[in-house]
Amino acid sequence: MASLPYPALCFASSSARQLFASGAAIHIQDSSRLTSSSTASSSSGTNHQTGLIRHIAISGDETYAATLGDDKTLHVYSLTSSPPDLLSTRATIKRGSHVSFARNNDIIVSDKVGDVYSYPLHPPSQNTKGVRPSATELVSDPSKNPDATLLLGHVSVITAHVITPDGNHIITADRDEHIRVSRYPKSYIIERYLLGSDGFVSALHIPSSRSTLLLSAGGEPVIRIWDWTTGVQLGTIEIWSEVLPHRRVRSMMRKLKNPRKGVKLDPSESGDTGAFYIPPEGWLLPSGQGVCVKKIETVNFEDQEIILFFSEGCAALHAFALPSDLSMRPKIISLPLPYPVLDFTAIRTETGRLLLSLDTAWGALKHNQSVAEFGGRHAPPELSEDDVAGMSQSLVVVQVDREGQLSDITSASGSSLSPLLASLSVPSLLAPSTVIAGLGLYSDLSLLPRWPGFEEDELGDPEPSDSASVAQSGGGMKKVWSHEELKQMSLKQLGRLRAQGVDVGDLLGRQRKEHRTKAFYEPDAKEKGDTVEVIRDDAT
């Protein structure tokens, strides 16, 4: 069985270094000397982490790095030694969703439960911690965490956060369309909400030269531009026309044991771009069109600022020049790539130079499975030496100019790429092809969009009925249930649909009345809930 390097899953960069993580190891490249090192080559010969690293950050003074991974552990490294020296390890209560450094080098961690914490750079001594609360206590009351200070909480998954350039505010975003501006470090004081998003928000960015602006994006068709100091939306930039043609990875699907709830596409939206996101009959995909903007970054030229972004599971990088007049619609430039983009970062020693990571296993080891392939694991195909060599070339160098034009210059960048590719291929970091095929690299495509009919929303009040009920979900995707289909649904399901804007007529009121009557005459009777089998795509 072939062995392959883990892909570089996340990047961070400073004025002199590029830092990236592959598997459970971190790698660092000194841009000025074109040398690289890795935690996999530490003097102990062992790796400090045990889970896939998904988030990485460099401190403002460029001397520390922090990582979060699947092992629910915060690792802090010193970058002044080669390879990076592990300084501390602290358990996090829940799996992290984002990590960054504050001005004073405190480490800001947001998690997928909806909490944001501040960890000191160096953990307190054991003598000052006292008796550590149990895991159950920490989950029920995050403020008891002896390792960190609870800054704020949302009632939904926090997807991203950013500390403002003045260091006095923290901006957080979540799955439920919220963008919140809070004071920092007294983050219990909420300054304002930025209202208007029409879908989950998964990426935030403040351009360095225009510090009052905030760019946000996620699953909706636009990037929104805000003045975060006032809460005013200054403009939007339509992106779906450029993003949709480059989608490669789809979400997991849910198999409906009761196919009457299947999602139907409006016939007017059955073109080529829509076909990618049409589930088979009896199966369900989440709302939207499979777009999840993962990252927004800036490259500065003397008189122009270029915004770069990509969407999870898409095989393209996109760029546009940020206009001085935000009411103008800039042209988006797209660079198609052979594989889905995993992350990118700027090489700050060379203006306009970018380093990208691609999922080169996609297409050979992984794909969007057909219905027939669900329900079990399937052995990946045998790989030739040429296949293995090709999959090991997972890093790409791209040049962007002041107009936003993008060029792949990988073939001319061998001297800078060779040390990085060599560090990825350290024998101790290689894994069997079955492991690489099973890496979950696109979980946000399933986690963040709404699943129509299966969200835990409040029950709504009944409204007048129509012959059919339609919910709009973006990109022309319309979920259509006939009156007969709605009549067969349970009370809980009707309530969820109603809370999402579906007109269920007077059926909800009738169901409630029948349920109360049945409960009175049959106290032990319970409502039968929806039966749904969740089947995940083994490839992702």
Model confidence at 480, pLDDT cuts 50, 70, 90, reads: low
Residue 216: φ, ψ to 5°: -130, 150
What is the mean pLDDT of the segment spanning 352-370?
92
Among the listed residues 10, 15, 46, 16, the one whose alpha carbon sits nearest the alpha carbon of residue 428? 46
DSSP string covering 212-238, please?
A: TEEEEEESSSEEEEEETTTTEEEEEEE
- The one-character DSSP state at 271 is S
Which element (helix H / strand E) includes 205?
A: strand 201-205
What is the mean pLDDT of the segment spanning 477-497?
66
- The one-character DSSP state at 409 is -
Task: Check: CB of residue 176 under 8 Å from CB of residue 182.
Answer: no
Q: Give the pLDDT score at 491.
A: 66
CA atoms in the 13 A half-sphere facing the CB of 22? 29
Q: Give the pLDDT score at 414.
A: 85
Whether the model clears a pTM of 0.85, i.e. scores above it, the answer is no
Percent of the chain with pLDDT over 90: 58
For residue 531, is pLDDT > 70?
A: no
Q: Which of 165-174, 253-262, 410-419, 469-478 has the highest mean pLDDT?
A: 165-174
Q: Give the pLDDT score at 370.
A: 73
512-524 tens-digit pLDDT: 666 555 544 444 4
What is the mean pLDDT of the segment spanning 438-466?
70
Q: Give the pLDDT score at 385.
A: 87
What is the mean pLDDT of the segment spanning 477-489?
65
Range with the lowest mean pLDDT among 118-132, 176-190, 468-482, 512-526?
Answer: 468-482
Q: Give the pLDDT score at 165.
A: 96
Region of 335 on the Ramachandran plot (φ > 0 left; ψ -120 to 50 alpha; else beta): beta
Cα–Cα dist 104/473, whole Å: 42
Q: Give the pLDDT score at 495.
A: 64
- Which of the two residues, 385 and 263, has the higher pLDDT score? 385
148-188 tens-digit pLDDT: 999 999 999 999 999 999 999 999 999 999 999 999 999 99
What is the mean pLDDT of the segment spanning 186-192?
96
For residue 526, is pLDDT > 80?
A: no
Residue 74: φ, ψ to 5°: -95, 120
Task: Check: CB of residue 165 under 8 Å from CB of residue 176.
Answer: no
Q: Is the peptide bond before 340 cis (omega within 30 degrees of 0)?
A: no
> What residue ranges define each of the domains in the chain, with the CATH number in brackets?
3-127+142-250+290-365+387-419 (2.130.10.10), 252-285+452-540 (no CATH)
Q: Give the pLDDT score at 504.
A: 73
Give residues with Cβ within 8 angstroms of 487, minimum separation 6: 507
Model confidence at 477, pLDDT cuts 50, 70, 90, reads: very low
Q: Give the pLDDT score at 136.
A: 82
- Which of the two residues, 495 and 231, has the higher pLDDT score? 231
Q: Give the pLDDT score at 522.
A: 47
In the numeric block, which tokens belong to residue 252?
A: 């997991």
Q: Write down the residue that tokens 């699943």 correspond to.
A: 451
- Which of the two residues, 316 and 459, has the higher pLDDT score? 316
311-351 tens-digit pLDDT: 999 999 999 999 999 989 999 999 999 999 999 999 998 99
In the numeric block, which tokens belong to residue 246?
A: 């480059």
Helices (H) and strands (E) in the chain, counts: 11, 35
28-83 tens-digit pLDDT: 988 665 556 677 544 444 455 678 999 999 999 999 999 999 999 999 999 988 78
Segments of 248-404 assigned E as strands: 253-256, 283-284, 293-300, 305-311, 316-321, 333-336, 341-346, 353-358, 395-400
For residue 279, is pLDDT > 60?
A: yes
Kindly report the average pLDDT of the chain as a whole number: 83
Which residue type is seen at 303?
D
Task: Check: CB of residue 238 under 8 Å from CB of residue 281.
Answer: no
Q: Give the pLDDT score at 238.
A: 98
Model confidence at 453, pLDDT cuts 50, 70, 90, reads: confident
- The 10 Å Cβ neighbour count of residue 331 is 11
For residue 288, is pLDDT > 60?
A: yes
For residue 500, is pLDDT > 90?
A: no
DSSP string covering 30-70, please?
A: ETTTTEEEEGGG-TT-S-S--S-EEEEEE-TTSSEEEEEET
Q: Give the pLDDT score at 143.
A: 86
Q: Give the pLDDT score at 381.
A: 77
Q: Please, is 55 exposed, middle or buried when counting C-beta atoms within 10 Å of its C-beta (0-12, 13-18, 19+)? A: buried
- The one-character DSSP state at 104 is T
379-406 tens-digit pLDDT: 677 888 888 999 999 999 999 999 999 9
